[in-house]
Amino acid sequence: MPTVSSIYKAILALFFIPFTAQAASVCQEYSARIPGLTAAECDAASWRDMHAKTVLGRTIFGVDVPVEKPDLHVLVIGGIHGDEMTSGGLVHEWLSMARTPLAGTPLRIYWRFIPVVNPDGLFAKPPRRTNARGVDLNRNFPTLNWARDSKIHWEQRTRKDPRRWPGPTSASEPETRFVLSQMASFKPNLIVSVHAPYAVVDFDGNSSPPVRLGRLFLDQIGVFPGSLGNYGGMQRHIPVVTVELASATRLPHPGEVREMWGDLLHWVNDKLAK
Ligand SMILES: [Zn+2]
């Protein structure tokens, strides 16, 4: 027979378990999903509400590392594909490094970091590439002839792979429109978009590409209808560096993360000076 105290505890649990689950902080939720991110590091970075919502109503967060009279604005985004969990971890590591200037990099850079553009995909069980409506956000940008080319590409090249569905129309998704609004308002001179797990660096734009970031070497894998690289780099003339980490679940070790950051900064300072 249950004791009075066990009944009391059961009643308490009924009330408080839902309460504590809802009260779990944003940083606790994200640190449970993103490799290498602790809740304390996330809290210390002061993520801010970017005033944009996903399909499921989740807030998209970002962190600015501003500087007075910047030479360049650089937008760094992770997690456009929800199942590439390390991308958010790398973006977070880099945002803490951005707060300390690196020797030999004189340009004054105003950084904006968006660790996870597609939190609905990240928090799906299991995490998934697409957003909550099943759209591959990195095929949803309004590139020229999107309606024709993205359909042909999806049907013929991917054989209607559901992980690569470009969506019903270009920029149909709130997460895509959020990135577009960031391009309009923040006016980045460079976009760095972090993915996994192809272990390369890709580049779209007119300047000469970074040859390597740490152990990742340049490999221009192609131009896809509706991709951010195609839209930003080719159409809007905002260079886009696409970083493909080697693993979606295991972050490179700290020395490697720092080396990649140093290589990125030196390339920016050499190639993007006005
Ligand atoms: Zn990806």
CATH label of the domain that carries residue 89: 3.40.630.10
CA–centroid distance, 80 to ligand 1, in Å, is: 7
- Order the strands of the 190-195 sheet from edge to edge: 48-53, 59-65, 109-114, 72-77, 190-195, 240-244, 200-204, 216-218, 212-213
Cα-to-chain-centroid distance, residue 22 = 25
**pLDDT band (50, 70, 90) for residue 18:** very low
Calculate the average pLDDT of the chain.
92
* 90-99 pLDDT per residue, tens: 999 999 999 9
Report the candidate in 191, 183, 189, 203 with the shortest Cα–Cα distance to residue 244. Answer: 203
Q: Which domain holds residue 180?
A: 4-271
Q: What is the pTM of this model?
A: 0.91
CA–centroid distance, 81 to ligand 1, in Å, is: 5
Asked if pLDDT for residue 101 goes beyond 90, the answer is no
Q: How confident is the model at residue 220, as a pLDDT?
A: 87
CA–centroid distance, 129 to ligand 1, in Å, is: 7
CA–centroid distance, 63 to ligand 1, in Å, is: 21
CA–centroid distance, 78 to ligand 1, in Å, is: 9
Name the DSSP letter for residue 210: P
CA–centroid distance, 109 to ligand 1, in Å, is: 26
Domain total for the chain?
1
Average pLDDT, stretch 65-81? Answer: 97
Asked if pLDDT for residue 19 goes beyond 50, the answer is no
* 181-237 pLDDT per residue, tens: 999 999 999 999 999 999 999 999 999 999 999 999 999 888 899 999 999 999 999
